[in-house]
Structure 1
Amino acid sequence: MHSSIDDDVDEVLKNNAGKFARDTVVSAKSVMNKGYWTGNLARMIRDTKIGDMKYAITSNAGYSGFLEYGTRYMAPETFMSPVYERYTRKVKEDLERLVNSKGRML
């Protein structure tokens, strides 16, 4: 493999993490339709680099888990899971494309 593959993989993950966070905000706005939208949930969604080639997308709003998974009084209003599923596929495709392009460069 090309010697800079780690840098290229990190760049793919960084770009996807940023897009994941932005798409999660959009998704959160779309599910918050029963009351009013203050924007707190959107402000609490972050993408953070947590290590070499490791990124985390989190929502630090205290009620995020209740929205995502529901409670015994409330049905779930998932805002992160659908985005996670989409980006899991996208990251895999992007990494496969990167590996295939690097293999041709040798």
Structure 2
Amino acid sequence: MAQVEIKGDDILLRALQTAANMKAHKAAVQKHGADLQKKAQSNAVFTRGYATGATKRSIKLEITDGGFAAKVTAGTDYSGYLEKGTRFMDAQPFMKPAFDVVQPKFINDLRRAGIAK
């Protein structure tokens, strides 16, 4: 009777697992990046001062690092002043509260996919 022995199968399995993890990681980044953008836009409703909606319209999502990172930015020059406030103006945060909601869900998805511990 013939006997077949396969060497290197553990390397192949690790490579396949890594490829699956990479796909899951990219999907989680895309999903939660878009969610962060939507939540930040929904939070960017300002009632004090001159509310024009420019900050809300300027919030953009950029996927970088080959799909492994998402960057959500507000493009107006004064968005930092809205987020943090000044000595004459109270803060009206819109980005940090959105991040605080999305971050645990993102980490949960990474854990479920076996990427984060």
TM-score range, shorter chain: 0.7 to 0.9
2:71 aligned with 1:51, yes or no? no
- For CA contacts below 8 A with separation 6 or more, give which structure has more relative contact order: 1
Name the TM-score, length of structure 1 as normaliser.
0.84
Structure 2 segments unaligned to the other structure (5+ residues):
1-13
Structure 1 segments unaligned to the other structure (5+ residues):
101-106
2:89 aligned with 1:74, yes or no? yes
Rounded Cα–Cα distance in structure 1 between residues aligned with 2:79 and 2:20: 38
1:20: Cα distance to partner? 0.7
C-alpha RMSD over aligned residues: 1.6
Rounded Cα–Cα distance in structure 1 between residues aligned with 2:100 and 2:21: 25
Rounded Cα–Cα distance in structure 1 between residues aligned with 2:80 and 2:51: 17
Higher CA-based Rg: 2
| Other structure's SS at 2:92 match | coil
2:26 aligned with 1:15, yes or no? no
Rounded Cα–Cα distance in structure 2 between residues aligned with 1:41 and 1:88: 22
Q: Which runs of 4+ in 1 moved over 6 A?
A: none
Superposed, 1:57-96 pairs within 5 Å as 57-96=72-111
Which deviations, in whole Å up to 9, do the C-alpha atoms of 1:43-69 show, x marking residues without a partner? Answer: 110110121301101101111000001
For this pair of structures, how many residues does the alignment match?
98
Partner residue in 2 for 1:5: 21
1:35: Cα distance to partner? 3.9
